Structures are given as structure tokens and as C-alpha cells.
């Protein structure tokens, strides 16, 4: 078994920064697939993807609460917080990358891989050697060079173990200002309640919740609240049938589920600004990235002592929705009839000023391409 | 429908609505609207409308490769809006983009060119109400759809520079 990689508060803080980046990194692939679906079609699939994406937002916020509880400073604006897609996932082997794809069998396959349950149990090694690929990793160990996790669930198992160990030796671990915690009064959500993290118990509860809701840390289909884990939600799209309580993993017995793969805007996979010819469509793509960067700035403020700002995040997200919808409906010139899609290349110059519209012109120029 | 006539319909719509092509395509309804207009006025008049628009653009073209907005405005009025055949259709194309509704052509028009079933007032698709350009034009959202989010009304409207007075053309 690999030696534990978390020895002190600083290690925990590094891990929780990575946890926030990881939770966020799953959202652009889900949003791209979700908004590629033609409106009023594929309601089963759209609903499944939407629920998972909303729960990832909850996980992001819970991770921020744990980080704040031990005196960390969440920052969603730092360079590299948003990965450059395609990005590798923590899978032991380099057998797949996470792309920004239209809703498709390939996209669902990737979603299952993102959310797949860990295969190690108990004493098995959680950390495996990373291949030297030079690609960005979604989950690597922030404290041990060249190592990464076999699955997202195991990444959280490492944090949970480290948290318990550090808390036992450092009674002042939970020194964060409780006013920085985001509570249910600031977070309008489906898929589980948000709660403040102030001690070891609530921190463990938050981390277990994230792991259970996503991948099923204990490899169960349903979590303690009777919610189907994300992996199995996506498996339903592959198997064409809903699960019911008591089902075996590969044999859902619920009602059939219908997918029409053709009712989708075929957006370019992991589109980059460089794929856009100069013009108004490229401007719209840059505008979206600037808006998204400003939105991450807003979240950073909210996670740094101003949780009430999450109310503004709601209308901000609707604005982002309108931006994505406009892009995916536009053909991308020079791409063989593929459609445009947001690139999530966040301009470096974005500050945390919540009103991006006034500075968009400057920010757009900051994009290097 | 050919890709060329679609592109020409988009060009026409850009000049008629003052919205950009990206915004028009962003409604997801451009193909539906083209089909609606063509069905309502017939292939021949539709082709005449696109041809008149191309002539109007060339009337206004400048050596630099762009167009003089004043000349374009004059040419559109001359070649399209003051034309008994094309004018009513073009006005309805504007209303179609803005309201998401096809309004019936006036009786004088149908008396002369024939009344097609598709020419009557009708909704194009269930999505066309929410995608009407009317809503972004006034900085609002269609009531009952495209919710902008709680508290959004406390924010200043987002008006692009090109719509402000004395904006560079």
C-alpha cells in the first residue's frame, strides 16, 4: 500500500483545492452535452444529465465549505482551475480523456467513466503511477509528484482518511470563520441539502456525501437517501431502462427510457477558439468565455465570506445558458457542418468583478488566440 | 432548399431585423422561418424577394467592400418596401422574426397573388414565441419562458454598444 499522502493542514488544503477543481471540471462536459440536445426532445436524457450537473455544483460548494472550515481560501479564478479539454481523468491507465462532446453514445461512455465506482477496496493501493503524457489531469495527487488516483471515489477516500488523521493530532484544524460557510439559505438546489462545515463530523459528512452521490464509494446503486448514484444514472442511458430499488447493476428492471441520438446539435468536439474563423461567432464564443470567467469570479467572492452573492449566481447561470444555446445553434464555418460550442478557455485577465459586461471588450482582447 | 438560398435568406433577415447572423441562427429557427415564408408567398415571389435584396445590397456597396448604411436603407425602401408584391412579404418577415408569428398577408395581396393555406396567420413552432427577437430588443424575456432568474430584475439591462446612440456603424 502506498504511504498516505496527507500529513498536515497544508496537504489537506492542497487536496481540497484539487477537489474543487475536480468537481467543477465535470460540469463543462455535462453542460455541453445537455445543451446540445434539441429543445423538447430527449427529455429522459436531458433530465438525467441536468440532475447530475446540478449535483456537481452542490459538490463544488460542499468542497468549498470543507476548505473554508480548515482555514483555506477557495479560488476558482486561478490559472488552470478550468482544465483545457480534452483532459485525462484519474483512471490508472490512460484509456480515455474527457472531451466536450455533444450528447452521443461516446459522451455517455465518458460520463460513465468519470463517475465509475472505484475497484479497490480497503487496503488496495489508491494511488497509481501517472503515465508521462503531458496532458492535464483532473485528479492527481497534489502532494506527491507523479501520482494520481484510480477513481474519484478513491481520491475522496484519501481525503477522508487524511482529515481524520490530521484532526486527531491538530485540535485547531477547524479554525475557519463560520461566516464563510455557505448554508442552505444561500443555495437553491435540487439533489441534496447544503450544510455548513464546522467540525470533523460535518466535514466527513460532506465528503462522504460527495463520494456517495457521485460514484458510490461503497459500490451501491443507491445512497443513504435512496438516490441513484451518478454512474448508474448514466448507465440507464446505455441500457435503455430505468433502475428500480433492488436491481442488479447490469439489469435495470424499471420502465424503458427513450433516446433519439439524432435530435442533437452536432457540436465540434472540444472546440477551441482557434477553430473559430474571425467574426461575430468568434466574438460570441469569446464573450461566453469572459462571462464564464466572471461567473467563477462571482463564485470565488461568494465562497470568501459573501455567501449571499450566490443569489446573483442564479441569474448569471441563466445568462450563461442563453449564451451556450446561441453558440450550439450556430454552424461553425469551416468545420464540415459541425456546430459551434463553448470552449471554456477562460481569459487570464478576468477579475472577480461581477459585472463582466462593462469590461468584456478588454477581457476579450486578453485572450491570446 | 439550397444552402445558397438559406444564406441569402439570412442576409435578407440581417438587413430587415438589424440583428446579427449569429443571433438569428442562435434562435434555432432560421430554417423553419425560411420554409414558412416560402410556403406563404410561393417559390417565385420568394426568389424575387431574395433577388431584390441582393440588388439593394449591391446598390449600397462601396469600394472598400462594405456597404453604406444610408444607401442600403434607401435601396431597401426603393426595391422592396415600396414594391406592391415584395413589400408586404418583407414586412411580415420582420414581424415573423420579432414576434415568432407568421401574420397573414393583407387581402389586397392575396387577391392579386392567390391565397395559399400557409399564408394565413399561424404560429411557426412552439419555440418561436420564446425565440422572438422582440424580447432581446427590449432587454426583456418572454413572459412564462426563458426565466432570467430571481433578482435579475435588479440588474441594469445589458445593452450592446452598437445599439447605443452614436455607436460606430
Contacts of B151 in chain A (CB under 8 A): 311-312, 314-315
Least CA distance to A308: which residue of chain B?
B151
Nearest to B27 by CA among A357, A39, A221: A39
φ, ψ for residue B69 (rounded to 5)?
-60, -35
The share of chain A scoring above pLDDT 90, in percent, equals 63
| CA distances, B128 to each of B26, B37, B121, B122, B138 (Å) | 12, 14, 14, 11, 17
Helix (H, G, I), strand (E, B) or coil at A118: coil
Check A327 against B26: CB less than 8 A apart: yes
**CA separation for the pair A237, A110 (Å, rounded):** 12
- Residue A336's pLDDT is 87
Q: Give tens-digit pLDDT for A97-139.
A: 899 999 999 999 999 988 877 665 444 556 655 555 545 555 6
The pLDDT tens digits of the residues spanning B102-117 come to 999 999 999 999 888 7
Q: Does residue B123 lie in a domain region?
A: yes
Contact A312 B127 (CB under 8 A): no
Quick check: is B150 in a domain? no
Q: Does B34 fall in a domain?
A: yes
Instruction: Identify whether B96 is part of a domain.
Output: yes
Q: Is the domain covering A9-239 a CATH 1.20.1260.10 domain?
A: yes
Is there a domain that residue B74 lies in? yes
The residue-averaged pLDDT of A68-87 equals 94
Residue closest to A141 by CA, chosen among A240, A345, A303, A5: A5
Q: Which pLDDT does position A266 carry in this prediction?
A: 97
Q: Between residues A296 and A92, which one has the greater pLDDT?
A: A296
DSSP codes of every residue in B94-122? HHHHHHSEEPPPPHHHHHHH---GGGSSE
β-pairing, B101-102 with A87-88? unpaired
Calpha distance A163→A11 (Å, rounded): 10
Residue range of the domain that includes B54:
3-133
Q: Which residue has the higher pLDDT, A95 or B65?
A: B65
Residues A352 and A361: their CA atoms lie apart, in Å, by: 16
The string of pLDDT tens digits covering residues B47-61 is 999 999 999 999 999
- So what's the pLDDT on residue A49? 97
At A357, the pLDDT band (50, 70, 90 cuts) reads very low
Query: Is B151 in contact with A331 (Cβ distance < 8 A)?
Result: no
Q: Choosing among B7, B10, B22, which should be mutated to test the A contact, i.e. which has the most A CBs within 10 A?
A: B22
Q: What is the pLDDT of residue A360?
A: 37
| B14 interface with A at CB cutoff 8 Å | no
**Does pLDDT of B82 surpass 70?**
yes
| Number of independent structural domains in chain B | 1
Q: What is the 3-state secondary structure (H, E, C) of A144-199?
A: CCCEEECCHHHHHHHHHHHHHHHHHHCCCCCCCCHHHCCCHHHCCCCCCCCCCCCC
Say if residues A147 and A129 touch (Cβ distance below 8 Å): yes
Residues 6+ apart with CB under 8 A from A81: A20, A21, A24, A75, A296, A346
CB contact under 8 A, B26 and A326: yes
- For helices A200-214 and A43-69, give the axis angle rounded to 10 degrees: 160
Amino acid at each position: 500500500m502506498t504511504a498516505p499522502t496527507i500529513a498536515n493542514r497544508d496537504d489537506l488544503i492542497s487536496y481540497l483545492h484539487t477537489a474543487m477543481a475536480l468537481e467543477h471540471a465535470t460540469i463543462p462536459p455535462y453542460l455541453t452535452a445537455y445543451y446540445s440536445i434539441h429543445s423538447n426532445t430527449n427529455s429522459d436524457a436531458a433530465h438525467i444529465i441536468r440532475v447530475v450537473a446540478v449535483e456537481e455544483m452542490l459538490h463544488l460548494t460542499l468542497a468549498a465549505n470543507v476548505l473554508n472550515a480548515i482555514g483555506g481560501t477557495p479560488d476558482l479564478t486561478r490559472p488552470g482551475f478550468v482544465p483545457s479539454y480534452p483532459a485525462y481523468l484519474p483512471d490508472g491507465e490512460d484509456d480515455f480523456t474527457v472531451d466536450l462532446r455533444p450528447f452521443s453514445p461516446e459522451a455517455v461512455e465518458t460520463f460513465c467513466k468519470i463517475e465509475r465506482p472505484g475497484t479497490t477496496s480497503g487496503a488496495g493501493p489508491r494511488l497509481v503511477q501517472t503515465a508521462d503524457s503531458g496532458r492535464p489531469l483532473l485528479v492527481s495527487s497534489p502532494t506527491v509528484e507523479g501520482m494520481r488516483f484510480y477513481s474519484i471515489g478513491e481520491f475522496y477516500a484519501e481525503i477522508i482518511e487524511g482529515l481524520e488523521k490530521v484532526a486527531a493530532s491538530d485540535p485547531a484544524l477547524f479554525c475557519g470563520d463560520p461566516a464563510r460557510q455557505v448554508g442552505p439559505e444561500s443555495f437553491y438546489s435540487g439533489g441534496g441539502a447544503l450544510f455548513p462545515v464546522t467540525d470533523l463530523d460535518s466535514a466527513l459528512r460532506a465528503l462522504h456525501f460527495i463520494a456517495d452521490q457521485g460514484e458510490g464509494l461503497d459500490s451501491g446503486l443507491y445512497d443513504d437517501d435512496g438516490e441513484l448514484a451518478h454512474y448508474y444514472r448514466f448507465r440507464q442511458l446505455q441500457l435503455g431502462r430505468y433502475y428500480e430499488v433492488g436491481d442488479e447493476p447490469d439489469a435495470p428492471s424499471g420502465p424503458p427510457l427513450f433516446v433519439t441520438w439524432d435530435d442533437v446539435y452536432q457540436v465540434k468536439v472540444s472546440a477551441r477558439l482557434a477553430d473559430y474563423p474571425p467574426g461575430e461567432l468568434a466574438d460570441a464564443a469569446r464573450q461566453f468565455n469572459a462571462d464564464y470567467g466572471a461567473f467563477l469570479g462571482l463564485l470565488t467572492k461568494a465562497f470568501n465570506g459573501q455567501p449571499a452573492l450566490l443569489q446573483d449566481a442564479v441569474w448569471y447561470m441563466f445568462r450563461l445558458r442563453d449564451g451556450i444555446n446561441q453558440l450550439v445553434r450556430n454552424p461553425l464555418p469551416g468545420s464540415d457542418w459541425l456546430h459551434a460550442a463553448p470552449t471554456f478557455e477562460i481569459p487570464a485577465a478576468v477579475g472577480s468583478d461581477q459585472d463582466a459586461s462593462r469590461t468584456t471588450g478588454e477581457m476579450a482582447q486578453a485572450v491570446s488566440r | 432548399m439550397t444552402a445558397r438560398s438559406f444564406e441569402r435568406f439570412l442576409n435578407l433577415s440581417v438587413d430587415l431585423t438589424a440583428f446579427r447572423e449569429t443571433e438569428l441562427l442562435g434562435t434555432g429557427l432560421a430554417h423553419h422561418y425560411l420554409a414558412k415564408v416560402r410556403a406563404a408567398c410561393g417559390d417565385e415571389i420568394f426568389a424575387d424577394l431574395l433577388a431584390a435584396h441582393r440588388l439593394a445590397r449591391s446598390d449600397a456597396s462601396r469600394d472598400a467592400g462594405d456597404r453604406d448604411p444610408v444607401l442600403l436603407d434607401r435601396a431597401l425602401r426603393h426595391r422592396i418596401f415600396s414594391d406592391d408584391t415584395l413589400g408586404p412579404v418583407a414586412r411580415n418577415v420582420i414581424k415573423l422574426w420579432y414576434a415568432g408569428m407568421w401574420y397573414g398577408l393583407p387581402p389586397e395581396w392575396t387577391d392579386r397573388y392567390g391565397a395559399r393555406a400557409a399564408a394565413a396567420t399561424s404560429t411557426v413552432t412552439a419555440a418561436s414565441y420564446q425565440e422572438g427577437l422582440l424580447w432581446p430588443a427590449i432587454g426583456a424575456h418572454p413572459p412564462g419562458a426563458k426565466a432570467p432568474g430571481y433578482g435579475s430584475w435588479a440588474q441594469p439591462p445589458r445593452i450592446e454598444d452598437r445599439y447605443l446612440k452614436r455607436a460606430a456603424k
